[in-house]
Amino acid sequence: MQPPEVIEQLLGAEEIEGKVRELAARITEDYRGKDPVLVGVLKGAFVMMADLSRCIDLPVEMDFIAVSSYGKETASSGVVRIVKDLDLDIEGRHVLLIEDIVDTGLTLNYLMNTLKTRNPASVEVCVLLNKPEARKVDMEVRYSGFEIPDRFVVGYGLDFAERFRHLPYIGILPDEVATGVEESWETE
Ligand code: IMP
């Protein structure tokens, strides 16, 4: 089992809840009279999607998309593979992509461009966390919760090697763990 004491808390559960409510209120206001499709990017966005959607006072529909990066080399070109596509037809619909974090921006940029080819009425992005220093592509993030430093974070849906997604807060993973010196702390 992972020792949670190695995780330094960056954002607490209450702070996150307040921000999610704030984002939901803005979305409710901006999409008044519309029935947007919320598209969660799996797996990281599942917690945010559940919390955010329950605070949006609109007749939303929900769908999920899952992507996997082609690996280091192609990740820098922004090519990602869709491993689970949408079930809904988004033609003529207002689409709001929900993501846990925008880092380089390559994933969301690719997804936005891909979804735009399906002729939706609009495509916007809502993220909980934003690392502006890490950005590699210029892209508009309409709804952004917190700007955070360029550190590896986990919790609230975000993982490191599939772990820590369940943490109710967001924490910084120590550099020695994030860079892969994992066995030493795992067996301690
Ligand atoms: P991108 O670099 O903006 O394309 O982000 C790609 C994906 O990397 C995100 O959707 C996250 O799943 C993951 N990611 C980026 N930064 C972090 C982090 O600090 N912790 C956990 N996952 C991250």
* Better-predicted residue by pLDDT, 150 or 182: 150
Residue 19 has pLDDT above 80, yes or no: yes
Looking at per-residue pLDDT, the higher value among 107 and 181 belongs to 107
According to the model, what pLDDT value does residue 71 have? 59
The predicted pLDDT at position 186 comes to 44
Helix 13-30, helix 46-53: angle, nearest 10: 60
Closest CA to 153 of 104, 76, 101, 75: 101
Bridge partners (DSSP) of residue 8 are 172
Q: How far apart are CA 15 and CA 35, in angstroms?
A: 28
pLDDT, tens digit (0-9, with 9 covering 90-100), for 81-101: 899 999 999 999 999 999 999
Q: Is 103 a catalytic residue?
A: yes
- The number of helix segments (H) and strand segments (E) in the chain equals 6, 9
Q: Indicate the top mutation candidate among 136, 158, 173, 179 to test ligand 1's pocket, ranked by most ligand atoms within 8 A of CB.
A: 158
| Average pLDDT, integer, range 63-82 | 74
Distance 1 CA to ligand 1 centre (A): 23
The CATH fold assigned to 13-151 is Rossmann fold (3.40.50)
Span 28-41, mean pLDDT?
98
Burial of 66-99, coded b for 16+ CB within 10 Å and e otherwise, reads ebeeeeeeeeeebebeeeeeeeeebeebbbbbbb
* Whether this model's pTM surpasses 0.95: no
Cβ-contact 90, 61 below 8 angstroms: no
What would the mean pLDDT of 28-47 be, rounded to a whole number? 97
